[in-house]
Structure 1
Amino acid sequence: MLAVLAASSVVSWFWLLLPCFIWLVIAVAGSGLVQSGYHIKTLYKKKGATVKEIAITFDDGPTPETEKVLELLSRYNAKATFFCIGSQIEKYPEVLQKTLNEGHTVGNHTYSHSTKLSLFPVNKTVEDITLTDSFIIKYSNKKPLLFRPPFGVTSPRIAKALRLTGHYVIGWNVRSLDAVTEDETKIFNRIKRGIAPGSIILLHDTSQKTVNVLEQLLLLLQQQGYKAVTVDALLDIPAYEK
């Protein structure tokens, strides 16, 4: 019908295709911006916060760098949330155990951290998530309820899988870009501009540059009277299944 209208010049192709193009742009942007909540509700900051508390989160660990992060957090009496990859837990179980022992929250960041997760069948995504849950349960005796999608990408399939697993989806409102930026000053300044009560900061416990930036950040938070707490404490939600 649309083709007939366009061919008869009643309606131009531009106006017929424009709604489809707009929908496509929105869908792509919504899939790539986890804080949009386009496919599934996402918690990315504490709205209306006035108390000077923020949550520092780390993705992609555990790694050898995680131990340096833990040392800094302890020195500044700060707590954080670590979204761990299942395959990394297999490599560094002792680091995960130390993270838990020091009172930090551990969340699920899938087992595979695949760039193709959005294309997985729902049952495969559920298996990927629950496998990581099983590793965290092994060392904490508690099922994690916090989940962060790899790369912050969601999709209808991922959303359906998460509704089955019952996880909270945790995003961020301050993205450091430490995974793609080498300049520590740029990383730190980007974080500094976004700091406000209720913020959730995204970092990665995978490199020395992030460790260096973290020390600057913790010092700044101390100077400005901020307290770094876990995501569950900030948002007042459970971190683990009771």
Structure 2
Amino acid sequence: MSSTRAHQNEAVPDPGRGPGRTWLPGAAAVALLLPLAGCDTDGAGAAEPDAMAVLVDGTGEEAGSADHEGVTVRTGDAGSFDDHPYMPEGVEISVAYPEFEGAEPFSEGLAERVDDDVADFRAGTRDPVALSVDWQITAADSGVLGVRLVRSEEDMHGLREGYSTHWYDAEAGHTAWSTELLADQEALETVNGLVREQLAEDGDVDTEALQPVLGLYDSMGFNDDGDLVVEFDHGHLSPAEEGHVPSAEPGRKSAVLDSEEIDPLLSDLGQRAREASLSEEEQLTVADADPDPEEPGPVPGVVSAEDTDVDCYEDGTRCVALTFDDGPHEQTPELLDLLADEDVTASFFLNGNPALSQPGTIRRIYAEGHELASHNDLHEDMPEEFTEAELPAQVAAVSAMVRRQTGHSVELFRPPFGASSDAVLEEIGEQGMAEILWNVDSEDWQDVPAGEVVDNVVAGAEPNTIVLLHDPLEATLEAAPQIIEELRALDYEFVSVSQALGGAEPGESYPPGGLGASPAP
């Protein structure tokens, strides 16, 4: 068998222009051969250091193809994804990904991730037009499989391409994220620093947008020399543009980390994935999973907003949750600097348009241990301005935007102005979120001076209070240092909303007594 190694920089079809595909469940899927012998380096792309080693390029594989044996192709169109919260009409969907015999957990894991990609494209972009997903096999041996998915997206802002690379640990029966190639969060932070150094002189890159979070580092693999290739979607590292999504024009950005430099940062899976990426085996035999595998460790890039050293319901502990609405804003990084200096955790309730234009700030909020939440897509009175049929899109948008940038699934939702209804609350619950109002209104939105904002917050504070603030307001930024100082003098611990509540159930509204109610004891 001759090698079919390809390289991922080769063009993929424009979204929506490939042949229509039909979703093929289980045994009806198409069988394809997986040749894995030799290494052909004659192709033009083979010498490109930022190209992942690709064993099989499945781009454009159609139903009915019988070129390969040992792999099946699952395909789908818009009708294959009929249970998403928001399904705009007329959006073309064309997806394909491989299944491997004997690796059913990987098939299920890829299916879930493709489903998330489709749902988040539908809800988290403006006027979506078309999405296609194609696949490549980046690694294959008896213990490790790697699959790179290439997304081609079109919406009102134009065309762009995105990437994610997924890994399968056959022994553990575990579908892993790309960040699990690394040993731990500290290793990911080191990689983030190395990438920043490499891209520091690139004028098309805002290095502050580089944050060690799952959603950004979702495509990593190895090139033909065993170096670690880190790649980023079109526009993910572009400088922020006020009122507009960052430009996708610079295209794919990548960094290549030397094999020897990266070696001590790799997990056991990462070491084996690198070996599998360079494999020249002639056949695929996936090892049986251990019937009693060890539980996977924490996933690098997944950040918790909980302070495990604080129990808000322990006698004598006084917690307070500072919440900031209407961002992210161009001055939010200044607020984040203050919170970092003071070691304060907060919760941020985001709106759709700011979230689209400031994705790097969203990643920073998450990376620094704050809680990300939704404040609806458009900042409008939901019961007054939207019909029940319009609510799913409004509720789903920010959640999708946040997941696309960070990998985090939003669990909290605050309706603008605190204006809710039975229909709004029901939709929030159906999308897996709890409704969060507040106990204390700082009244910063009424254009009061900073001193009055401070007085309102401090006077109203009780244990487990949720405080309403707005990070785009200058008076709030001016008041924040004194709020922190005075509440800390009263022995308050600053925690996320979820921690102050002791958890929040989807479909429920907090505080239980409504706006301004005292916190639950």
Q: TM-score, normalised by structure 1?
A: 0.75
Q: Look up the SS of the partner of 1:64 in the other structure.
A: coil
1:192-211 to structure 2, matched below 5 A, reads 192-211=458-477
Q: Which has the higher strand share?
A: 2
Aligned length: 195
2:395 is matched with 129
Aligned residues of 1:121 and 1:157 also touching (Cα < 8 A): no
1:49-198 to structure 2, matched below 5 A, reads 50-198=316-464
Residue 499 (structure 2) pairs with residue 223 (structure 1): no
Q: Residue 48 of structure 1: CA displacement?
A: 10
Q: Look up the SS of the partner of 1:143 in the other structure.
A: coil
Aligned residues of 1:49 and 1:197 also touching (Cα < 8 A): no
Aligned residues of 1:60 and 1:83 also touching (Cα < 8 A): yes
**1:218 and 1:188, CA in 2 relative to 1: closer, same or farther beyond 3 A?**
same
CA distance in structure 2 between the partners assigned to 1:102 and 1:66 by the alignment = 13
Q: What does the per-residue CA deviation read over 1:109-129, in whole Å, with 9 as the maximum and x for residues that have no partner?
A: 111111355441223111111
Q: Residue 229 of structure 1: CA displacement?
A: 0.6
CA distance in structure 2 between the partners assigned to 1:82 and 1:49 by the alignment = 28
Listed as ranges, the gaps of 5+ residues in structure 1 are 1-45
**1:201 and 1:72, CA in 2 relative to 1: closer, same or farther beyond 3 A?**
same
Computing the radius of gyration over CA atoms, which structure comes out larger, 1 or 2? 2
Q: Which has the higher helix share?
A: 1
Q: Residue 142 of structure 1: CA displacement?
A: 2.2
CA distance in structure 1 between the partners assigned to 2:416 and 2:437 by the alignment = 10
Q: Look up the SS of the partner of 1:166 in the other structure.
A: coil
Deviates more, 1:219-228 or 1:231-240: 231-240
Deviates more, 1:157-166 or 1:113-122: 113-122
CA distance in structure 2 between the partners assigned to 1:239 and 1:87 by the alignment = 27
Give the CA RMSD over aligned residues.
2.2
Aligned residues of 1:62 and 1:92 also touching (Cα < 8 A): yes
Q: Look up the SS of the partner of 1:59 in the other structure.
A: strand
Q: TM-score, normalised by structure 2?
A: 0.36
Q: Residue 181 of structure 1: CA displacement?
A: 2.6
Deviates more, 1:123-132 or 1:113-122: 113-122
Letter in 2 for 1:112: L
Q: What does the per-residue CA deviation read over 1:174-208, in whole Å, with 9 as the maximum and x for residues that have no partner?
A: 10010113322211111111112111111000122
CA distance in structure 2 between the partners assigned to 1:194 and 1:121 by the alignment = 35
Q: What does the per-residue CA deviation read over 1:140-182, in whole Å, with 9 as the maximum and x for residues that have no partner?
A: 2121010001000112321232232121111111100101133
Aligned residues of 1:105 and 1:239 also touching (Cα < 8 A): no
